[in-house]
Structure 1
Amino acid sequence: MTFFSQVEPKSIDEALNDENWTVVIHEELNQFVRNDVWLLVPKTDQMNIIGTKWVFRNKVKQSKDDIFLSQSKYCKEILKKFEMEQCKEATTPMSTSCYMDVDAVGIAVDQTKYRGLIGSLLYLTASRPNIMFVVCLCARFQSNLKESYLKVAKRIMKYLKGTSTVGLWYPSHSLVHLVGYSDSDFAGCKLDRKITSGTCHLLGSNLISWHSKKQAFVALSTGEAKYIAVRSCCA
């Protein structure tokens, strides 16, 4: 992803001819090294080589006063890919009465379609923290798929239909004050009674990190659930 180039290369060769994309490629590779994503080993005859593909996306608007990070083009592409360009719009990504649980008697649906949809939405959360919770919730139900799960995922797409241009705005004049927020439910998962906590951090008015996660702990009270969320936020 780059803020500066208006071109989206179709191949690695095209990207290497653009100075801005070359910088981004090196930054991405350095991230892999810093996070120990891979280990280089000698190739043997028994190894099967799995190919990789670079995907270049311009998530780009910048001026002297601010940066706006958006994936509006990608959002429209996945609406088209999953044939929901003409769907009705939803005002929220998830219904307030929705409560996902194991559906033992529901109608089975195509696993490939559901998993492809969730994978596409997870990528979109890079600039859309407002869908993080419900997308992560849907990602938990990727086996023995039922129609009720797909209905929740489609609700997210209906929400995106009306908010495709929404993104993250970073003004240059914002004050440099780090603020963190956290929240959690209590025994929200019916299966294991674990809590789901969410956190976000702002540097001034700029949102810089966020996550939604089902914790590995079973809280015995609402107070303990809040402490777990705060600890996760501070970490």
Structure 2
Amino acid sequence: MGELGFFLGLQVCQLEGDTFINQAKYTKELLKKFSMENYYVASTPMSTSVKLDKDEVGQIVDITAYRGKIGSLLYLIENRPHILFTVRVCERFQTNPKQSHYVAAKRILKYLKGTQNVGLWYPNDSSFNLISYANANYASCKVDRKRTSGTCQFLGDTLV
């Protein structure tokens, strides 16, 4: 069958006994789909000064376009856990998105533009000790006090 190169949108690169998985091609296609190839690069997925809320007085945006962006970003979070929190925050406002939410989703895409080649590295010589971390914050969302939680698991030194 040969060496695995692409699988369900994941690029798999096997080098000298190590494996690197990323979604650079999908990210590039995503930026093209939303006409963001020529935008500037953001250094972080969300500004520290932004606190998203319901924004009752904000300008209404196209709900289909917003949901399309969020749905596309949700596909990336399995391989890019560093954007998980930001995408999940934006996901909360899919029923009634405003301009502030749309700008936050666009910033994630601008961040992805600069980090297209980021992925997960799996060295073959790491141990098989499974370590899991979990975190939950029950007070950070000022809108409805929904919890924000996350987990990550390491197999040896590698994030799975």
TM-score by length of 2: 0.91
CA distance in 2, matches of 1:181, 1:134: 19
Cα offsets for 1:45-64 (capped at 9, x unmatched)? xxxxxxxxxxx535210123
Q: Is the 8 A contact 1:5 1:58 kept in 2?
A: no
CA distance in 1, matches of 2:146, 2:94: 19
CA distance in 2, matches of 1:159, 1:84: 11
Higher relative contact order (CA 8 A, sep 6+): 2
The equivalent of 1:146 in structure 2 is 98
Match of 1:202 among 133, 141, 154: 154
C-alpha displacement at 1:132, in angstroms? 0.9
The equivalent of 1:59 in structure 2 is 11
The equivalent of 2:4 in structure 1 is 5
Q: How many pairs are equivalent? A: 159
CA distance in 1, matches of 2:144, 2:112: 31
C-alpha displacement at 1:190, in angstroms? 1.8
Cα offsets for 1:160-210 (capped at 9, x unmatched)? 0100000000000112222222223341122332331221110111111xx
* One-letter code aligned to 2:31: L
Q: Is the 8 A contact 1:4 1:60 kept in 2?
A: no
Q: Is the 8 A contact 2:59 2:98 kept in 1?
A: yes
Unpaired segments of 5 or more residues in structure 2? Answer: none
- Check if 1:83 corresponds to 2:35: yes
Cα offsets for 1:7-27 (capped at 9, x unmatched)? x6xxxxxxxxxxxxxxx8xxx
SS at match of 2:96: coil
* One-letter code aligned to 1:80: K
The equivalent of 2:126 in structure 1 is 174
CA distance in 1, matches of 2:91, 2:58: 18
* One-letter code aligned to 1:109: V
TM-score by length of 1: 0.63
Q: Is the 8 A contact 2:10 2:21 kept in 1?
A: no
The equivalent of 1:121 in structure 2 is 73
Cα offsets for 1:47-93 (capped at 9, x unmatched)? xxxxxxxxx53521012321101000000000011011011111111
CA distance in 1, matches of 2:9, 2:71: 16
**Structure with more helix by fraction:** 1
SS at match of 1:59: strand
CA shift in 2, pair 1:182/1:108, >3 Å: same
SS at match of 1:170: strand
SS at match of 2:82: helix
The equivalent of 2:62 in structure 1 is 110
Q: Percent same amino acid at aligned positions?
A: 53
CA distance in 2, matches of 1:125, 1:193: 23
Match of 1:74 among 22, 26, 29: 26
SS at match of 2:13: strand
The equivalent of 2:137 in structure 1 is 185
CA distance in 2, matches of 1:57, 1:90: 24
**Structure with more strand by fraction:** 2
Unpaired segments of 5 or more residues in structure 1? Answer: 9-23, 25-55, 209-235
CA distance in 1, matches of 2:146, 2:76: 26
